[in-house]
Structure 1
Amino acid sequence: MSATIPRTPPGTPPRLDRRALVAAHDVVVRSVLPASPLSVGNGRFATTVDVTGLHTFPQLHPLPDAGGGPAGSMLGTLAEWAWHSDPDPAGFSTADAERVVDTAHGPAVYVDMTRGADGRSAAGLSAAEAHLRANPHRFDLFRAGLTVDGRPARPHELRDAGQRLDLWSGTLTSRVDLAGRRFEVTTAAHPRADALAVRVRGDLTGIGVRVGFGAASPSWNLSRDDTRPGAHRTDVRTTAAGALVHRTLDAARYRLGARTDGSVRVAGAHAVDVAPSGTGALDLVLLAAPGAEGDLDVPGAGEVLAASAAWWEEFWTRGAAVDVTASRDPRAGELQRRIVLSQYLTAVHSAGTLPPAETGLLVNSWRGRGHLEMHPWHAAHFPLWGRADLLERSLPWYERVLPRARRTAHRQGLPGARWPKQVTPDGEETPSDIGPFLLWQQPHPVQFAELLRRSAAGTDREAEVLRRWVPLVAETARFAAALPVPGPDGRLHLPPPLVPAQESWADVRERAADPSFELAQWRWCLRTAAELHRRAGLVPDPSWERVAERIAAPVVRDGVLAALDLDEPLRRTDHPSMLGALGVVPDTGLVDPAVVRASLHDVLADWDWAGAWGWDFPATAMTAARVGEPGLAVDVLLAPHAKNHHLPSGHNHQTPVLPAYLPGNGGLLAAVALMAGGWDGDGGRPAPGFPDDGSWDVRAEGLVRSP
């Protein structure tokens, strides 16, 4: 059988042994893994540490600077509120990067960027573009590393180390032999506060912890600069419980409270040393908070450890579970590992109140900014896996930036809200020759609302979900209904200028029209927006469904989907996004499943997977599942390509400068939810996205059916 336990609705008592299923994939480290350090965190705050459980040896985890400067480190502590901007005497604003572009709706304003410039550095950019792309940038809050006899520990003094990430409790335990002393370091993050607990037990003769601070960095991917000690200020006040540190980085200010049973002393301009009171034990909690005013109520280490254990046990218990370990397919063990670790990683890195960066809170990418087109790949799986609240944390951000999104639409001659792509925390569009012309992030608020509704279906919360999020759905639908323009064929078309999800077409944005994936998105978005209004007891704008029914079908050439309506050969690199027209998007009747199946085989024949990205593999697997190719769905989901590699930490590695890619992890969970939990119109077979030839035994409970 393909599934010995059929799908179970949310709320059904679990039958799988959740703890055993999770514990089997605890991450065990026996040596330094330079590209694969481990993190603890809560979705809004995370710290990434080495094999000592701290940030003792940042040089052993190098992170190349994408701009070509000196390397940084993957170790550090990031929070979603920690942003810095370089002083700006010129007073640049997005108005300095705006260009007026001719569109089908008249002259429109876009926050553009010099074509062909290097977006990872200032090369080829105007002064305004360079400043606006680099500022604000997220910065590292602190590093805490072991000391030996009052000085930083040295790598050669690390004789031995072993480490285990206990996923059930969110706790990292490191057994360390350093400079002849043996001890154990326990590390955990508080689930509701930006606090890190460190508990050290063993022979601590001469052993201590140094908490150090650096300057912010405007680098594309580095968050800390240790070469400019004069660019920031550290003021330390010792307290009865430890210390209160006030940090100043230009206009950015924050506090770090330290609570310890040891002693604290200032160690230079930008560090404090913490030493145990005796020789066998040390507790230390570091709590970070934005702003310069007020004392901090720092919890004790035992309180943080207990809170972490309770939150993570509840996380694993209440969510859905999928078990493929009884399968005969030899790849089942690796798929199970990715399923479990991706749940942990997305909870740590992608479950905050802002749309997350593609690298989460591990390291910066795009200076730490969120990409709205990636938001579903990070977080749409949460409601499908029974954890809708982790998605809902970030949705109020759309309400906060709604005035900006309305202004963008208005300046392009359209009603409703046009959602940006790459954004600052307050929703400012980042200058780009691609991002402001993308469309595929526009339907996402409708997708989120529908997934949240499904997760609450049949409960009192369903009406609450509709009441809360239908206003965002309406703003999204107004723009979506107004953008298409009529063509001579009597159908409605997505007009230029635009850049499809397959961004390799960005150079023809002035001519690009009717991308296949986005056409299907548009129909689904408008139909779903209308249905959500009806479910909420409201009357939808009748134009929404009229536009949906008149949306043009994607162009088909030689029996396969074209990327867009442009008389050029298909570019066989980057995202094969045309497949998303039936895969990521449910069946809308706009595309023929037989054509999509042929397109799938065409892509798999010779696509440049080295030029693809981590979410392309689960997205393609979703297409294979929906068109009746479950064997291919598994093959693509686990395809042995570099961009589909998952490190021992579970992170989806892409390149040395992009060492983690959370859309790959979240995408995998969305694909598995569809394949194991089913979708509307799947025929009713358990685990319909897996082969039913006896090679896969899929046990699933608690998954919400995908659209």
Structure 2
Amino acid sequence: MQCTGEMPPQETGLTYNSWYGKPHLEMHWWHGVHFPLWGRPKLLEKSLPWYDKAFSKARKIAERQGFEGVRWQKMTDSYGDEGPSSVGAFLIWQQPHFITYAELMYRANSTKATLEEYKERIYATADFMASFAYYNPEKNSYDLGPPLIPAQERFEKTETYNPTYELAYWQWALKAALKWKERLNENKNQHWIKVAENLSPLPVQENVYLATESAADSYINPEYKTDHPSVLAAYGMLPDTDLLDLEIMETTFEKVWKVWSWEETWGWDFPMTAMTAARLGQPEKAVDALFMDVQTNTYLKNGHNYQNERLRLYLPGNGGLLTAVAMMCAGWDGSTERNPGFPDDGNWEVKWEGLVKMP
């Protein structure tokens, strides 16, 4: 109910103010993606016209920084103004989100009208993403950053580049934008193609994906084993991409599972981990992730995902749980079995209706 308004909600919804009452656009994925997966696309659709309202201001941000297209705000308000934030100006993982929402809308209503409704915002999003990627002549590939702050907000913004999740998301979103062009019989953008096909490879060390290429000690430095284990999102929130090696992701998952400081995470980290486990064919771990006995994975009797005394409810955790459950039941594109996220060991009887596969 608190996430079905005409704009992206703040992380504590309408109950009380958090972060000065500002909505965070990187969290809109967690607030809204579950709606179409539960057969209710119109509840996500209600908030998407807000991006048209914020469009001109997002374009001005990109122009001021020397980029094309629109750079979507991080911490914002009902008018689309950018809130002051030491993190917000450097975060990038909210950029592809709008393409995700539009894809979900198209899956729910695959008409030309849907394509026309969202194409301007999709194309402007892709324009920014392609211009933000920086060509590295030494590697003959495109880098992301520096400066940037990845979804795991533990790395120095002026030194960080090529975070695993963001690289994978960049490629997926650019290719989705190209698919949008194809559906409309429009000429494909050659720059988008060039960037998507030549992004830097996902950073690997000892057969494990690093959080970022710039942090070789990702699994050694205690600080880097806290906050969101977003390296897993490259194959949890996202499907398989050309950049991904599934065997390396399997070893990465096992590494994160063993070494992460789970007490220093957030509510949506547990469903994110569950989604990765499900895609990797480890339904036991998917269930274990959802039931992990950690304070930030606590759901009170009133349904609120409790984080701490300051954040007594945290709606991205609730939305993440709904997204993970839908995916674990209905599956994802390419999955063939029913309830692929639950162990087929005779201990589970899973009944559902009206759920939709995740991309």
**2:339 is equivalent to residue 687 of structure 1:** yes
Partner Cα distance (2:28, 2:263) in 1? 23
- Give the C-alpha shift of residue 680 in structure 1: 1.2
SS at match of 1:438: coil
Q: Do residues 501 (structure 1) and 154 (structure 2) align? A: no
Separation in structure 1 between the aligned mates of residue 353 and residue 186 of structure 2, nearest angstrom: 34
| In structure 2, C-alpha distance between the alignment counterparts of 1:638 and 1:549, rounded to whole Å | 39
List aligned pairs for 1:107-506, cutoff 5 A. Answer: 348-457=1-110, 462-487=111-136, 488-505=138-155
Aligned residue in 2 for 1:697 = 349
Deviation at 1:609, TM superposition (A): 1.4
Structure 1 distance, partners of 2:2, 2:217, is 39
| Alpha-carbon distance between aligned partners in 1 of 2:356 and 2:197, rounded to the nearest angstrom | 28
CA contact (8 A) 1:480 1:522 kept: yes
The one-letter code matched in structure 1 to 2:127 is R
Contact 2:274 2:287 in 1 (8 A): yes
Question: Which secondary structure does the structure 2 equivalent of 1:699 belong to?
Answer: coil
Is the 8 Å Cα contact of residues 454 and 704 (structure 1) preserved in structure 2? no
Q: Which residue identity lines up with residue 425 of structure 1 in the other structure?
A: S
- Unmatched 5+ stretches in structure 1: 1-347
The answer to whether the 8 Å contact 1:491/1:552 transfers is: yes
Return 5+ residue gaps in structure 2 as ranges.
219-223
Bigger CA radius of gyration: 1
Tell me the distance in 2 between the aligned counterparts of 1:620 and 1:567. 21
Return the alpha-carbon distance in structure 2 between the equivalents of residues 677 and 456 of structure 1: 19
Q: How far is 1:568 from its partner?
A: 4.1
Aligned to 1:523: 171
Q: Deviations over 1:418-471 (max 9, x none)?
A: 0010112111111111111001000011000001111224xxxx3222221111
| Residue type of the alignment partner of 1:524 | W
Q: Which deviates more, 418-427 or 528-537?
A: 528-537
Q: Tell whether the 8 Å contact from 2:205 to 2:216 is kept in structure 1 after alignment.
A: no
Letter in 1 for 2:132: L
Q: Give the drift of 1:550.
A: 0.8
Say which SS state the counterpart of residue 503 (structure 1) adopts.
coil
Alpha-carbon distance between aligned partners in 2 of 1:676 and 1:545, rounded to the nearest angstrom: 34
Aligned counterpart in structure 1 of residue 213 of structure 2, from 565, 574, 594? 565
Q: Contact 1:385–1:703 (CA<8 Å) still a contact in 2?
A: yes
Query: 2:333 is paired with a residue of what secondary structure?
Result: coil
- The CA RMSD measured in Å over matched residues stands at 1.2
Tell me how far apart the structure 1 counterparts of residues 108 and 49 of structure 2 sit (CA, whole Å): 18
Please identify runs of 4+ aligned residues in structure 1 that moved more than 6 A: none
The amino acid across from 2:272 in the alignment is A
Give 1:380 deviation, angstroms: 0.9
Deviation at 1:567, TM superposition (A): 4.1
Cα distance change, pair 548–361 in 1 and its aligned pair in 2 (3 A):
same
Contact map agreement 1:579 1:623 (CA 8 A) in 2 = yes
**Pairing 1:623–2:306 present:** no
Aligned to 1:512: 160
- SS of the aligned residue for 1:349 comes to coil
Instruction: Determine whether 1:594 maps to 2:247.
Output: yes
1:457-493 CA-partner distances (Å, limit 9, x unpaired) = 4xxxx32222211111111000011111122121111
In the alignment, which residue of structure 2 is the partner of 1:173? none
- Whether contact under 8 Å (2:307, 2:313) holds in the other structure is yes
Kept after mapping to 1: 8 A contact 2:210/2:216: no
The counterpart of 2:182, out of the listed 529, 534, 540, is: 534
Offset at residue 701 of structure 1 (A): 2.1
State the SS of the aligned residue for 1:486.
strand
Say if 2:11 and 2:315, in contact at 8 Å, map to a contact too.
Answer: yes
* Residues 623/407 of structure 1: CA separation in 2 closer, same or farther (3 Å cut): same
Letter in 1 for 2:356: V
TM-aligned CA deviation for residue 607 of structure 1: 1.1
Q: Give the AA of the match of 1:656.
A: E
State the alpha-carbon separation in 1 of the partners of residues 108 and 351 from structure 2: 20
How far does residue 575 in structure 1 lie from its aligned partner after superposition? 0.4
Q: With the length of structure 2 as denominator, give the TM-score of the two structures.
A: 0.96
CA distances 1:29-73 after superposition (whole Å, capped 9, x unpaired): xxxxxxxxxxxxxxxxxxxxxxxxxxxxxxxxxxxxxxxxxxxxx
Write the distance in 2 (CA, Å) between the matches of 1:560 and 1:531: 31
Provide the rounded CA distance (Å) in 1 between the counterparts of 2:356 and 2:242.
23
1:60 matched to which residue of 2? none
Aligned residues: 353
SS at match of 2:352: strand
Q: Please state whether the residue corresponding to 2:343 is helix, strand or coil.
A: coil
Q: Secondary structure at the match of 1:423?
A: coil
Q: Which residue of 2 aligns with 1:584?
A: 237
- C-alpha separation between the residues in 1 aligned to 2:126 and 2:169? 12
Distance in 2 of aligned mates of 1:518 and 1:635: 26
Q: Which residue identity is paired with 2:144?
A: L
Contact 2:123 2:177 in 1 (8 A): yes
- SS of alignment partner, residue 296 of structure 2: helix
| Cα deviation, residue 536, structure 1 | 3.1
Indicate the residue corresponding to 1:604 in structure 2: 257
> Does the CA contact (< 8 Å) of 2:278 and 2:328 recur in 1?
yes
Q: Distance in 2 between matches of 1:543 and 1:697?
A: 49
Equivalent position SS for 1:696: coil
Match of 2:201 among 547, 553, 575: 553
> What is the CA–CA distance in structure 2 between the aligned matches of 1:360 and 1:567, rounded to whole Å?
35
Matched residue type, 1:689? G
Partner of 2:221: none
Contact 2:271 2:289 in 1 (8 A): yes
- Aligned with 1:473: secondary structure? helix
Structure 1 residue 540, shift from structure 2 partner: 3.0
Distance 1:612 1:518 in 2: 19
Q: Distance in 2 between matches of 1:452 and 1:567?
A: 37
Measured after TM superposition, the shift of residue 543 of structure 1 is: 2.0
1:673 and 2:322 equivalent? no
* CA deviations over 1:231-269 (Å, ceiling 9, x no partner): xxxxxxxxxxxxxxxxxxxxxxxxxxxxxxxxxxxxxxx
Q: Structure 1 length as normaliser, TM-score?
A: 0.49
CA offsets, 1:599-633, max 9 Å, x none?
11111112111211000001111111111111101
Kept after mapping to 1: 8 A contact 2:75/2:88: yes
Q: Deviations over 1:483-533 (max 9, x none)?
A: 11122121111021100000011xx11110000000000000000011122
The sequence identity of aligned pairs, in percent, is: 46
Paired amino acid for 1:614: G
Q: What code does the residue aligned with 1:596 have? A: M
More strand by share: 1
Q: What amino acid maps onto 1:554 in structure 2?
A: L
* Alignment pair present for 1:660 and 2:313: yes
